[in-house]
Structures are given as structure tokens and as C-alpha cells.
Amino acid sequence: LNAVDDKRQKAQGIKDSIQTHYDSTMKGGHNVGEPALVHYLTDNAYPTVEWMEKQGVRFKDKIGAATGSLGQRSHYGVEGSGWAYTHIFENVLKKYGDRVEIFTDTPATQILVKDGKVIGVKGLRKGKQPVTVDAPSVVLATGGFGANVEYRQKVNTGVWKHVTLDKSIGTTNINKAAQGDGLILAEKAGADVIGLSDIQLHPAGTPGTGLMQDIITDGRNRLFINTNGDRFVSEGAPRDTLCNAIFAQPGKTYWLVMNKLRLPDESKTNSFGVSMTDMLKLGRVQKAANLEELAKLMNVPYEHLKASVDEYNKAIENKGKPDKYGFIATNTDDAKMVEGPWYACKKVPTVHHTMGGVHINTKAQVLGKDGKPVHGLYAAGEVTGGIHGANRLGGNAIADVFTFGRQAGASAAKNL
């Protein structure tokens, strides 16, 4: 979760500001994000962290940098992946007893609207039982459409129009949950949708599935190495730049390489809830005692791999100055890669996030095509558009989900 955190960042010697977070988000999104929404995100991200901590969520003291974050402001949960958040909020919901009723296996089929106002939702429970919920406020939090191959190809007229986003390119999303159903429901209820062509690819997909199953480092102190053993891009670049560079490599793939300097105990899980021990057992990660041995496992020329590591280490020595790929060592985690053991795993670009969606304002109210709120309809998270522009910064999605999610809840409670 990206947020400017004066206390934690200063303790690590990280220089940052809310304005820098805003500028990076706008620039990373190719300056097509809506300024008001971006300001709301960056201004309120840290208050959201504080609110989450009050609910019981625990964050690590160490601030990291998610891939393509363009800054070191990523907060990671003490517990792995989304579990750090979900089980806490499940416990919060339990406090309300029978005041909260949760319907599983119940896809929404229609948002009910009368006289221009939302009055409830229809659904179908377990595929056969019709359900109608009367409600003057409805919050859409249905996610994106990254797993809907037909739909993403249809709207792919933006930064990836030169790439066929067919089934040969996987997705990090759960197939059933990322079909864009919420967008269809919202449009039928009068919502405006924007930025649908703004689709993000992530460079760390697993070959064959697109899932991010093999995350060998939580930070950015790692190398992007092609099948010739060469570096080919700045490891600190935005995600779209990284993916474009990968597509230009032999086989449209690469090796992610790191050494022990940024590796915790192999048995411990990383921020994605995965241990190196498990990844090694599954054979998805290669491990070597030294660089020469790693080159053999990767089937790349040792001389090329060594030269790549030397290039990176020289960039670390010249901190603050760009190397020939544009990489600038500024992150406090950036360090020379010298000692073994060494680790490597194959990666490919994968569909990760769809930045376009339902048009909202800073109160998380859904807007109609006339720019006015659809009364009683609110939205938050990946189902919305306009926040991340044409490329999302790593770490900004969780900040978006919780910051606008809080606001959507508050607006819904007041039935604005």
C-alpha cells in the first residue's frame, strides 16, 4: 500500500512528500489521470494506513518499493499478501452480528433504479434462487476485467494496441472474478465508464499461467536478464516500460535474478505469502552457489551474465547517476550484488490491472454521462476509472482500494 509516511520513511533515510507521490502517479499514468482523484488518493493514503492500523492491520516498519512504484513508499503487511487485511476486516464485521448478512455464490444481476435513484440490487443465489435486496445505497466493488479475454481485446486501443491481448497472455487475476460484470451492471444503471483502453501489464507473470506465483524478492534490488544473459532495461522503470522492453527480447521472456543480500530466511514467507523453500521444491526457481553455476542453470553465457552484474554494481557505485539503461540507484535498498547464493526464475508480461472503469468523483459517487451523480450508487477499487491514468504505479492499487473504499462507505451511509 503506497503512502507517504514521515515517521517510517525518515527512519530509513527516505526523502518523499505527498506532492512527489502525486507527481509520480500523474507522470507514471502518462498525465491522463484525473487530478482531483489523484490528489484525493495521495492526500488520504496515509490517513487510510492509520485507520487500518486502528482496525488491527499490522504493517512492517520497513518501507519498500513495489515493482514500478517510482518511489519508496510501499507499506507491506506483517502477514502475507491480502491476508494481512482480509482476516482483520472479517473480524470487524463479526462485531455487528446479524446486522450484516453476507451472500456468497450470489452474482448480482441488476442494480435497481427508480425515478433516477438506486433502490436496491437483484441477484441469483447458487445459480437458482432469486434474491432482491432493498437498499437506498449500493457500493460497487467488483474489480476489473483482466480475465475477460474477449472484452480486453475489444477495448485494447490504448498503450497496448500493438500487442494482441489474446489468451496467449495470461493474467494475475482470478478468472471468475475479473470478467467486468460490474461495469455492465453500472452502465445499465446509468453510469459513465471511462479509460477502458488503459490496461496494465505486469512484468512478473509466470510462464504458462500469467499468475504471480514466483516472487523472489519484495524489493527492487534485482536484475532483469534476457536469454542472452544481458540486462536490457532499467530495473526501476514503470511497468509499461518494463513490459515493452520484455516484448522486444528473444522469446518475449527474461530471467529475474537476485542474490542473498535482499533475501530473508528461505523458510519464511515474503509479502505474497510464499516461501523460497516452496518455490525451490516446485522447481520454479533456480538456485546456485555462485554466478558461474547460475549461468549454467539459466543456459546463458557466463561472460554476459557477469558483465550484467558488473554493470548494475557500477550503477550502485554511481548512486544518483543514470546508467546506460537509465537506471538510477536512489532506493535505500539498492545495493551491490556480489555474494551468493544466487536465485533466478523465468518471467513474462501478464495482464494485471484494468485502470478504466466506472467514472466517480472524490466522494466515490458514480457519475452518469451528464457528469452528475447517479443517486445512491458508489464505487471503489479496480471497477473505477480515472485514478491511475494509462499506467498504474506499483502499490497504488491497494491504496486506491482502501482510500476510496472508506469514502464510498461513508458516502453510502449518508446516502449522498
State the total domains in the chain: 2
* pLDDT on residue 276: 79
Strand partners, 275: 269
Q: How confident is the model at residue 284 (pLDDT cuts 50, 70, 90)?
A: confident
Lowest mean pLDDT among 72-81, 143-152, 206-215, 292-301: 206-215
For residues 3 and 39, membership in a common domain is answered with yes
Please tell me the predicted confidence (pLDDT) of residue 274.
74
List the beta bridge partners of residue 347.
254
Angle of CA points 244, 246, 248, to nearest 5°: 75
The pLDDT value given to residue 79: 86
Are residues 194 and 78 part of one domain?
yes
Residues recognised as catalytic: 239
Q: Which domain holds residue 338?
A: 202-351
Same domain, yes or no: 220 and 251: yes
User: Is 347 in the same domain as 360?
Assistant: no
pLDDT at 294 over 80: yes
In sequence order, what are the residues at sequence separation of 6 or more whose Cβ sits closer than 8 angstroms to the Cβ of residue 392?
A: 28, 29, 200, 239, 353, 355
Residue 205 has what pLDDT?
92
The residues near 386 (Cβ < 8 Å, ≥ 6 apart) are 33, 34, 37, 194, 195, 359, 360
Q: What is the pLDDT of residues 60-72, one digit of tens each?
A: 999 999 888 999 9
Instruction: For strands 357-359 and 384-385, give the pairing.
Output: parallel
* Averaged pLDDT, 30-58: 97
pLDDT band at residue 333, thresholds of 50, 70 and 90? confident
351, 375, 403: which is the final residue of a domain? 351
Residues 316 and 247 in one domain: yes
Q: What is the mean pLDDT of the chain?
A: 92
- Report the CATH number that the domain containing residue 399 is assigned in CATH: 3.50.50.60
Confidence of residue 260 (pLDDT cuts 50, 70, 90): confident
348-368: average pLDDT: 96
Task: Determine how many CB atoms are found less than 10 A away from the CB of residue 351.
Answer: 26
Average pLDDT over residues 342-366: 96
* pLDDT band, very low/low/confident/very high, at 213 (cuts 50, 70, 90): confident
Note the pLDDT of residue 144.
95
